[in-house]
Amino acid sequence: MPNKNIKKFRNMTQDELVSNLRTLELDFFKGKMQLETGQLSNTSSIWSMRKDIARLKTLLTQLTSKSEAKGAKIPLVKAK
């Protein structure tokens, strides 16, 4: 069953993708801390967040490579 998030992510701009990536990475970190302290009840959320982060990074890479192929220079903002 294909993930519905990828369709949602494909309709976003590059700035929205970067913003969502930062939010997901922060949530992923918080989830890992909750997992280690035994406070996380839904452990599958860690797995799905990891996959969504990978999807966002892939889409950002594709957008960057497309823009470079066209000759436009759009700097990729790295998530902190």
* Residues 36, 38: Cα–Cα separation, whole Å: 6
Cα distances from 51 to residues 22, 29, 37, 38, in angstroms, run 14, 14, 22, 22
- What domains, with CATH codes, occur in the chain? 14-67 (1.10.287)
Q: Specify the pTM.
A: 0.75
pLDDT digits (tens, 9 = 90+) for 10-48: 888 889 999 999 999 999 999 999 999 999 999 999 999
Is residue 72 helix, strand or coil? Answer: coil
| pLDDT per residue as tens digits for the range 44-55 | 999 999 999 999
